């Protein structure tokens, strides 16, 4: 069985973007070569990527072109190659087609389709997008959260999860600090508690 892993850059107050539409490009992020190379190494290990529509469209806009952009550092071109070549699933009710080794699932039974996908996959399945990660968490399908925590407090902006109202207990399984001041923490989801 596969494992759904939600990996996201966050601020200290668990915001993933400060301004709507900054699409992971906020000035508060400290993504340097060391951090990027670690993200590349983790991407190599993935069996599959599952993206929500907004997250997918951000990625497809940039990374397929980045792999051939000689003005970019080699580690960014490498990630562009990895993202483009890796098998992907796009979860969308509106998209009818997608390139770059991507198949689409959608409809009212998308979570059931994702549960079947997880059961039939060996290895790590990355989750891209807060809305999708929240739905998987609610369904009890999210296995791990990897937080790349940047030393900034945004004070407002989009949170790591959308309107999740139940306590979650986690186990810390790994951590690493990068020279930029970013820390990476890996947590397995131990339990969810009913609110109230």
Q: What pLDDT, on the 0 to 100 scale, is given for residue 123?
A: 97
Order of strands, edge to edge, in the sheet holding 88-91? 102-105, 88-91, 46-52, 123-128, 2-10, 142-149, 183-192, 168-177
CATH number at residue 60: 3.40.430.10
Confidence of residue 133 (pLDDT cuts 50, 70, 90): very high
Q: Is 174 or 25 the better-scoring residue by pLDDT?
A: 174
Q: Is the pLDDT of residue 24 over 60?
A: no
Average pLDDT, the chain: 92
Residue-number span of the structural domain to which 121 is assigned: 2-192
Q: What pLDDT, on the 0 to 100 scale, is given for residue 25?
A: 62
| Number of domains forming the structure of the chain | 1
Confidence of residue 18 (pLDDT cuts 50, 70, 90): confident
> Can you give the pTM of this predicted structure?
0.92
Residues β-bridged to residue 123? 2
């Amino acid at each position: 069985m596969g494992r759904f892993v939600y990996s996201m850059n966050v601020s200290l107050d668990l915001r993933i973007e400060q301004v709507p539409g900054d699409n992971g490009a906020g000035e508060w992020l400290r993504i340097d070569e060391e951090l990027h190379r670690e993200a590349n190494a983790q991407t190599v290990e993935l069996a599959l990527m599952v993206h929500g529509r907004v997250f997918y469209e951000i990625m497809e806009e940039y990374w397929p072109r980045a792999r051939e952009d000689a003005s970019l550092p080699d580690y960014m071109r490498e990630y562009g190659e990895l993202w483009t070549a890796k098998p992907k699933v796009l979860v969308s009710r509106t998209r009818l087609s997608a390139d770059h080794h991507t198949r689409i699932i959608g409809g009212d039974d998308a979570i059931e389709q994702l549960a079947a996908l997880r059961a039939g996959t060996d290895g790590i399945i990355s989750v891209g997008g807060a809305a999708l990660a929240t739905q998987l968490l609610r369904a009890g399908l999210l296995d791990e959260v990897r937080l790349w925590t940047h030393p900034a407090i945004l004070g407002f902006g989009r949170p790591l999860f959308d309107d999740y109202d139940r306590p979650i207990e986690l186990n810390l399984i790994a951590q690493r600090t990068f020279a930029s001041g970013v820390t990476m923490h890996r947590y397995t989801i131990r339990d969810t508690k009913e609110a109230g």
